[in-house]
Amino acid sequence: MHRWSPPSQMIPITSLDNNSTSDTQRMRLRCCKVIIFALILLVLISFSIVYTLQKESLFNEEYKRKQQDEFHQRQQLLFDTYTQDISSTFLQITGNNHTDEKFLRHIQSKTLMILRDLEVKRKKDVLLFLYERNLIQNNRLNLYGADLNNVELVCPHNFHRFNIKGVLWSNAKFINCHLTSATFDYTYLINARF
């Protein structure tokens, strides 16, 4: 005969007691899986948004940089072409030992056209170029109506007989410029600083 002994494991009293703990564990496991899945999804969405925004920002910066580079290259090309054309024209004038009105009109029209398209820094370079070629002294070259607004002249030497008549030159700055016998007749020098 066998003697009855209690089993080593505890037997649930009802089947509901055992299922409730396993159901609770299953629910917790499902909730953890959903939370982990949601976090992974949130990280992926955040990464894709940040990546897209950074890519767009880099694209915009690159586009702006290329636009600026193209603008500066175009400005340099315009200025170089202008100086070469004027220099060759000026060589023809000095080769003849007299100033031909036809050549001066050509230089005047080229200068007025180029001043419309150039930025402020290049306009200053055009003025210095014309002065060094003795074209804006003694009223040789008429720049009437030229737009020289915001051009700043930093002068390394005296501007003797600097002759600019009838130009638009607001916010002009003449830094270290010694203007002797300069003529600014009919020039609009609004807010100019000497």
Residues above pLDDT 70, as percent of the chain: 85
Q: Where are the beta strands (DSSP E) in the chain?
A: 152-154, 158-160, 173-175, 178-180
- CA dist., res. 141 & res. 133, Å (int): 11
Residues 170 and 112: their CA atoms lie apart, in Å, by: 17
Average pLDDT over residues 50-66: 95
Q: Which of 45-49, 72-76, 155-159 has the lowest mean pLDDT?
A: 155-159
Q: What type of residue sits at position 67?
A: Q
* Contact (CB, 8 A) for 107 and 135: yes
The overall average pLDDT reported for the chain is 86
Return the half-sphere exposure (C-beta side, CA atoms, 13 A cut-off) of residue 138. Answer: 4
pLDDT score recorded for residue 2: 63
Per-residue pLDDT at 5 exceeds 90: no
Confidence tier at 7 by pLDDT (50, 70, 90): low
- Please report the pLDDT score of residue 11 as a whole number: 54
Q: Phi/psi of residue 109, each to 5°?
A: -65, -40
177/164 Cα distance (integer angstroms)? 15
44-62 burial string, b = 16+ CB within 10 Å, else e? Answer: eeeeeeeeeeeeeeeeeee
Confidence of residue 30 (pLDDT cuts 50, 70, 90): very high
Q: What is the DSSP letter of 162?
A: B
Residues 58, 35: Cα–Cα separation, whole Å:
34
Report the SS3 class of residue 163: strand
